[in-house]
Amino acid sequence: MEVKPNEAWHNAHMMPANPTREERMEWHAEHAAACGCKPVPASLAAAVKSFRSKRPGRAN
Ligand SMILES: [Zn+2]
């Protein structure tokens, strides 16, 4: 089995050259929802999780 990157999403969501922690966190939060070709780095996992739970998401 291989994980196929969601190329359309990646093309639309380029990581900035020098991302801040917040940019990386947001990128990974959206990436995990849209793709999954690579795991969220351990150093960001907790932050991404709380970032996602603070967002309205699908509720509403
Ligand atoms: Zn991906």
Listing DSSP states for 16-47 in one string gives PSS--HHHHHHHHHHHHHH--SSPPPHHHHHH
What is the rounded CA–CA span in Å between residue 8 and residue 21?
Answer: 24
Å from CA of 32 to ligand 1 middle:
8
Å from CA of 54 to ligand 1 middle:
22
Considering the entire predicted model, what is its pTM?
Answer: 0.78
Per-residue pLDDT tens listing for the chain (60 residues): 677 899 999 999 999 999 999 999 999 999 999 998 999 999 999 999 888 887 665 544
Q: What is the pLDDT of residue 34?
A: 94
Å from CA of 57 to ligand 1 middle:
20
Q: Tokens standing for 13?
A: 């969501």
